[in-house]
Amino acid sequence: MKKRDPMLIQQHTIKKPVSMHGVGLHTGVTTTMTLKPAPEDYGIRFRRVDIGGAPEIPADVDHVVDIARGTTIGIGEARVYTVEHVLAAIVGMQVDNIIIELDNIEPPIGDGSAKPFVDMILEAGLKEQEAPKDYLIIDQTIRYQNEEQGVDIVALPTDDYRLTVMVDYQNPALGSQHTGLFNLEKEFVSEFAASRTFCFLHEVEILRDQGLIKGGNLDNAIVIVDRELPDEEIKKLAKKLGISHSVILGTTGVLNNKSLRFRNEPARHKLIDLMGDLALIGAPLKAQVLAARPGHASNIEFARKVRKLYQQKKIVKKYQHEKKEGVVFDINAIQRILPHRYPFLLVDKIIDFQIDQRVVGVKNVTMNESFFQGHFPGQPVMPGVLIIEAMAQAGGILLLNGSENPGNKLVYFMAINNVKFRKTVTPGDTLVLDIEMVSRRTKVIQIKGRAFVDGALVAEGEFTAAVIDRQEPGGNGSVAPAKTPTEKNPQQH
């Protein structure tokens, strides 16, 4: 039997399927939701069993399609609304692999909290799996700010998972509130899962007019009283909410004088929303996240930034097998990524890599370069076209975005513009290649490259390239390595 490393924490799924039935908060549809076990490294996926082929939607920010008062994910025509409460329960219970089957477009809202879904997971039971958890360990500060909305979210390095939330609606009915979760295992179920969704009284009609909260009522949401209303307006409001019993403006600050489960229940629910949205990073976190005035839009933008870091770390781990100070990819890693070999491999190492944004490579220029034999005898100068090729090869690293295998692609130049050579490059120089992504579409990329020696600009240019799938001739379906732009067939020059 294989021995486990005691320092590793294993992945978990649930032991058996478990279901609930109810109404969705925003759409008002009736849905049966079933949580099902999933294999290792499967992740969290929503499955629409009411659609032909039962399409699955991975729970990650790449599949977020709407953030109007809740987080909606989709793929093709399939959508799932208001996923955050279910996801918060899954993260809070530390489940890594699970299928959420739905026969409609929105999970049941239950009582407006994450507790019904926690209860489902507790009923199903947890099952430990063989594979270790794939933690995203935050080792640098990541920050998102929206000054107009007063939103500030920051992730800081720590060795566990902590969330702190502050809300300030500048409204006397709610005021400023804050809360913090510092121990997921001990605090989530008892202190946070039961906190319910809420809205302000003045928002109710607006939300209904926008086609939202069709399933909302006073049993699954807290309505914060923030204005006085005459009796006629109260009756109109009750009719709009579909409430048959009497509605009163409470003295507690909550419609119908409903008692809060926690003194700062709105802040705790905002923490639940944040936890659910951060599940869309696609990996369990080890980080301390501090959030001021968060909402779904800001949560998702922050999650996008963190997911990029996660994808970047996975890419580096895939190709760079040995950690080296100040090096992202060494020459061995570069040879795993690019097909070039002597005498045409013109990048020695990558010292900075930001997925889909920027790469910085280094080429050490020595007298041993084969091209110096003829360019020029007695006065060696690196050919400008090879400086351009070195920039193109470094730019090829920017194809690494976590969703594609670069070995399956060919990259061809479509245009090279505004190329300028400022200084000569000679033996003994260290050529630093700074490449930025200008734009990236499915089939076309645009990059801007600059080359430096000792901080001085020696060459620059703008490149447009086409990215196509490559298969070996003969139609056997095998895939050949990718090539960078200057490796083209003669007829394509």
275 plus 386 within the same structural domain: no
Q: β-strands 349-354, 126-132: how paired? A: unpaired
Nearest to 433 by CA among 360, 329, 355, 357: 360
177 plus 292 within the same structural domain: yes
101 plus 235 within the same structural domain: no
Let me know if residue 180 belongs to a domain: yes
Q: Which of 133, 156, 188 is the last residue of a domain?
A: 133
405 plus 453 within the same structural domain: yes
Read off the pTM.
0.80
Let me know if residue 79 belongs to a domain: yes
296 plus 342 within the same structural domain: no
Q: What's the total number of domains in the chain?
A: 3
Amino acid 404: pLDDT: 56
Displacement of CA 8 from its chain's centroid (Å): 24
- Residue 244 CB: number of other CB atoms within 10 A? 8
Q: Are 386 and 374 in contact (CB under 8 A)?
A: no
Displacement of CA 322 from its chain's centroid (Å): 26
b/e burial code for range 30-69 (CB count within 10 A of at least 16 → b): ebbbbbbbbeeebbbbbbbeeeeeebbbebbbebbeebeb
335 plus 256 within the same structural domain: no
Give, in order, the Cα–Cα distances in Å from 79 to each of 102, 103, 109, 208, 212.
Answer: 10, 11, 16, 20, 15
Catalytic residues: 296, 375
Tokens 């699970």, residue located: 98
Q: β-strands 161-168, 151-156: how paired? A: unpaired
Let me know if residue 113 belongs to a domain: yes
192 plus 85 within the same structural domain: no
Amino acid 475: pLDDT: 37
Amino acid 468: pLDDT: 80
Angle between helices 201-209 and 231-241 (to 10 degrees): 50
Let me know if residue 279 belongs to a domain: yes
CATH number of the domain bearing residue 374: 3.10.129.10
In tens digits, the chain (493 residues) has pLDDT values of: 444 444 469 999 999 999 999 998 878 899 999 999 999 999 999 999 999 999 999 999 999 999 987 899 999 999 999 999 999 999 999 999 999 999 999 999 998 899 999 999 999 999 999 999 999 999 999 999 999 989 999 999 999 999 999 998 666 667 789 999 999 999 999 999 999 987 666 666 665 566 655 555 556 666 766 666 666 766 666 666 555 445 555 555 555 556 788 888 889 999 999 999 999 999 999 999 999 999 999 999 999 999 999 999 999 999 999 999 999 999 999 999 888 899 999 999 999 999 989 999 999 999 999 999 999 999 999 999 999 999 999 998 888 876 556 666 677 888 999 999 999 999 999 999 999 999 988 789 999 999 999 999 999 999 998 888 766 444 333 223 344 444 333 323 2
Three-class DSSP labels, 80-134:
ECCCHHHHHHHHHCCCCCEEEEECCCCCCCCCCCCHHHHHHHHHHCEEEEEEECC
Q: Which of 133, 154, 170 is the last residue of a domain?
A: 133
Amino acid 486: pLDDT: 42
Q: Which of 267, 290, 317 is the last residue of a domain?
A: 317
270 plus 283 within the same structural domain: yes
305 plus 335 within the same structural domain: no
Nearest to 208 by CA among 173, 249, 237, 169: 237
- Cα–Cα distance between 47 and 35 in angstroms, integer? 10
CATH number of the domain bearing residue 129: 3.30.230.20
User: Facing residues of 329 across strands?
Assistant: 350
Q: Are 201 and 236 in contact (CB under 8 A)?
A: no
Let me know if residue 3 belongs to a domain: no
CATH number of the domain bearing residue 206: 3.30.1700.10
Amino acid 263: pLDDT: 86
State the residue range of the domain holding 47: 10-133
362 plus 268 within the same structural domain: no
- Cα–Cα distance between 197 and 215 in angstroms, integer? 13
b/e burial code for range 306-325 (CB count within 10 A of at least 16 → b): bbbbbbbbbbbeebbeeeee
357 plus 480 within the same structural domain: yes
Amino acid 2: pLDDT: 45
341 plus 449 within the same structural domain: yes
Let me know if residue 1 belongs to a domain: no
Let me know if residue 5 belongs to a domain: no
Following DSSP, what letter does each residue of 297-354 receive, concatenated?
A: HHHHHHHHHHHHHHHHHHHHHHH--S-BTTBSB-HHHHHHH----TTS----EEEEEE
- Cα–Cα distance between 263 and 261 in angstroms, integer? 7
